[in-house]
Amino acid sequence: MKKLFLLILVLLLSLTGCQKPNKVVDDNKEFDGFLYSEFQALLNDDLISQHYQVYNPETYQLLRPEVASLGEVSYESYQEQVEKTDALIAKFKEFKYDSLSSRQKVDYDVIMWNLNATKELNKYPDFDFVFSPMNGYQSNIITNFMEFRIENKQDIEDYLWLLKDVSRLFKDGIVFTKQQAEKGYFLQDYTLDETIDLIDKFTDAKDNQLIVSFKDKVALVNDISEEEKSAFLQENEEIVYSQIIPVFKETKEALNGLRGSSSIKDQGLAAYPNGKEYYATLFKYKASDDISVDDAFKALNDYILSWLQQYIVILSGAEGAVDEASNYTLPYKGVDEILVYLEEHYPKIVHPLPSIDYKISYLDPSITNPSISAYYLQAPIDNTRLNVIRVNGENSSSDFDLFVTLAHEGLPGHLYQNMNFIQTEANPYRLSNSFIGYSEGWAMISEFFMIETLDFEYPETATILKSDIGLNYAIGALVDIMVNYYGYDVAQIEEHFSTTFGFNLGTEAFQAIREGVISDPASIIPYGYGLMKMDNYYNEALKKYGDKFSIIEFTEVLMKNGERPFVFVDKDIAQYMKGKK
């Protein structure tokens, strides 16, 4: 925690009489020990998670897993996860809540929320398509190995050990997918086409990135001989050519053989039996909130209307801003100049950290996903110099696009948010919990904050540029709900937009958005809904405090308890709105 709130005891005798101060409870050492042991158990059985989350396993007394497994996928494995989570929840409930300190109560609440949300998701294995375009094995596996840290001989051996398990995982995934398809649960044809395109891009590449990147990393390892390096390079090539590429091609053939197996044609999750129930569960997890889908739908409608109203006001009185926004060219060129600007200006938004280390590079075109502009890879919790940002150059059409992307992934976005919380020395088990609605919401609002720092001739220009982003993601999230929860077709979507907002993007545009949310249900929710939540907090605070508003104090409230569900952020914001520190 970067800064503590001062607690001022105010005696309002005429209203409440004398109040006893709250009892300060010390940390429950048994509870912290329990969390620590669960963190160890989590990583002792998962080599790839252990490798990514910690730099020195010995620091946390972690054991080396006996089996190099990339995970299990079967109907039985989902049920096992539900049972394991139930058992862990029961362990948490053994602790008396009042015995915990205020910090531990936050950890308890946040972790329990995550356990329950994850457990509910695992009750719906029919809907978990392991070869979906954005989150499927064919994408995640490549990223996991491309980003695998290699600094010594043990890292090389672990990499190759895990790489040999890819074929097994894909084949298990094929079996599981066939079982789903037999019940009518399968990708739409256009969704399948996206997955096939990604597979082809990987298998057809002249210079396979699993070979190129491995070679580059091994070349920098100092504790092995040139002969050993050569042997490792040869082993990697053999695995890629004899196992990885063949199983990718086998997956393509198997998926094509299942084409048309979906029992619903060009429809969202709502058309499936239990589809609405699953979507509500998925929405909660992706939004990181307890809000009902119905209420979220209303809130997103209101958010879109608020942007449209602002835009109308600007059009009627600041036409120059419209022209400036339409023709805006960022004065900072390329990654280096933009990063310098962000590093110099992010302290205007949040408390600066003593130092933030990271490296940034562009993704090779052979492994890019058209749905992803960039991604941030968090450093191990015990070595924060190893942050990584990867940019998909094919998705950045201008320096301004690159600017908001780097603000989102870097400063003050994901990079800052993660490093800020790690430096509070939070319990490592708490650090292993993530809440994508919060994290993407923060990264999205970070784009807004940094746009506000730019110099424009017209102050309304920033609002227009932000509205383009806000409307894009809010509309996507709204259509996601329409299609996957309410079962809207294109005509119904057009009717809603015409009636509610007074505009219509057209059949072709809405069909494209609709196909996108059918392909990856709720994937846009963390961005559209998360941004709305953060932006609403911001606007509420601006309205409340006016000239006395401090963005540093405001963002401190968002940051102070780390990544967490919005139901808990709501409480922190409500306390902040009662009066500034």
Q: Is 100 within the bounds of a domain?
A: yes
Last residue of a domain, one of 453, 474, 502: 453
Angle 339-381-387 from CA coordinates, rounded to 5° = 20
- Residue at 62 is within a domain: no
Asked if residue 573 belongs to a domain, the reply is: no
In a domain, 307, yes or no: yes
Q: Is residue 207 included in any domain, yes or no?
A: yes
379 in the same domain as 447: yes
Q: Do 145 and 259 fall into the same domain? A: yes
Domain co-membership, 424 together with 541: no
With left for phi above 0 and alpha for psi between -120 and 50, is residue 26 left, alpha or beta?
beta
Asked if the model's pLDDT at residue 397 lies above 70, the reply is: yes
Instruction: Say whether both 538 and 442 belong to one domain.
Output: no
One domain, residues 353 and 309: no
Q: Could you report the per-residue pLDDT of 51-99, keeping only the tens digit for each?
A: 999 999 999 999 998 888 999 999 999 999 999 999 999 999 999 999 9
- Same domain for 255 and 286? no
Longest CA–CA separation in the chain, Å = 84
pLDDT of residue 22: 43
What is the distance between the alpha carbons of residues 541 and 536, in angstroms, rounded to a whole number? 8
Tens digit of pLDDT for each residue in 518-573? 999 999 999 999 999 999 999 999 999 999 999 999 999 999 999 999 999 999 99
pLDDT grade for 6, boundaries at 50, 70 and 90: very low
The whole domain housing 81 covers 29-44+74-127
pLDDT band at 7 (very low <50, low <70, confident <90, very high): very low
Closest to 39 (Cα-Cα) out of 53, 25, 29: 53
List pLDDT tens digits, range 324-382: 999 999 999 999 999 999 999 999 999 999 989 999 988 888 777 777 888 999 999 99
> Which residues contact residue 348 at a Cβ distance below 8 angstroms, ignoring those fewer than 6 apart?
453, 551
- Tell me the per-residue pLDDT of 217-239, one tens digit each, with 9 for 90 and over: 999 999 999 999 999 999 999 99
Name the domain count of the chain.
4
341 shares its domain with 441? yes
In this structure, the answer to whether residues 166 and 243 fall within a common structural domain is yes
Residues 223, 115 within the same domain: no
480 conformational bin, left if phi > 0, alpha if psi -120 to 50, beta if neither: alpha
**Facing residues of 389 across strands?**
360, 376
Q: Are 317 and 464 contained in the same domain?
A: yes
pTM of the shown model:
0.93
Which amino acid appears at position 96 of this protein?
K
Please tell me whether residues 166 and 214 are part of one structural domain: yes
Residue 16 lies inside a defined structural domain of this protein: no
- Of 127, 148, 172, the domain-final residue: 127
Q: Is the pLDDT of residue 26 over 90?
A: no
- What average pLDDT does range 397-414 have in this prediction? 95
Q: What is the pLDDT of residues 288-306, one digit of tens each?
A: 999 999 999 999 999 999 9
Instruction: Tell me, yes or no, whether 565 lies in a domain.
Output: no
* Residue 571 covered by a domain: no
Please tell me whether residues 423 and 491 are part of one structural domain. no
**Domain termination site, one of 127, 161, 189:** 127
Percent of the chain with pLDDT over 70: 95
